[in-house]
Amino acid sequence: MPKRLTTPALQFAPELLLQAQPVCIAFFDVDGVLTDGGLHFSEQGETTKRFNTLDGHGIKLLQKAGIVPAVITGRDSAPLRLRLKQLGVQHAVYGTEDKLPAAQAILDSLGLAWSQAAMMGDDWPDLPVMQRCALACAPCNAHPENLAVADFVTRAQGGQGAVRELCDLLLVASGHYRTLLETYLA
């Protein structure tokens, strides 16, 4: 007889769920968050990146729940643009080390406030955004300064499911997790 999942397996601390409840937009860095931070160069000088499918599915689930995923990154590459297009990410700023104005512009365009935002970052350029968001997050292998300001530190490393952990937290906090899970179990 097949095993039946009757209640979701994920559990988060109640105070973390309360903090995450108002989040309507999640900002993500790329290198060290959506990827493992390694840069692979071809002989022609092209950069390749490795993305985790758990993270990608989490981003798609956020969109189904009405939570906007947005990417702000210091680099730009064809593989990154292709991956974000595949995931349906509509808000992305490429090639900027000054991430605060980019995040503010996205918030303004959507009519959202910092109190409705989460940010996952792993290094210093992400700190200004992390400090203003309602929920600051970091992969467990982030720089110590980012870990110090993070409200939520993932168990997974960047590029290895860390983004999915934040997505799951936001889905549980918003009340969409169980409903979305049940669509796969039906």
pTM value? 0.93
Q: Is 110 a domain residue?
A: yes
Q: What's the domain range around 157?
A: 30-183
In a domain, 124, yes or no: yes
Q: Is 139 a residue whose pLDDT tops 70?
A: yes
123 is in an annotated binding site: no
> So what's the pLDDT on residue 8?
74
CATH number, domain of 61, equals: 3.40.50.1000
Alpha-carbon distance values, 70 to 7, 45, 119, 141 (Å): 30, 27, 9, 21
What's the CA gap between 33 and 30, in Å, rounded?
5
pLDDT for the residue 125: 97
Residue 96 lies in a domain: yes
Residue 12, in any domain of the structure: no
Per-residue pLDDT of 72-123, as tens digits, reads: 999 998 889 999 999 999 999 999 989 999 999 999 999 999 999 999 999 9
Domain count, the chain: 1
Is 31 a known ligand-binding residue? yes
Mean pLDDT for the stretch of residues 47-58: 89
Q: Given this model, what pLDDT does residue 13 score?
A: 95
Please report whether residue 15 resides in a domain: no
Least confident of 23-32, 72-81, 123-132, 136-145: 72-81
* Phi, psi of 137, rounded to the nearest 5 degrees: -135, 155
Q: Is residue 29 within 8 Å of residue 131, measured between CB atoms? A: no
Asked if the model's pLDDT at residue 178 lies above 70, the reply is yes
151 is in an annotated binding site: no
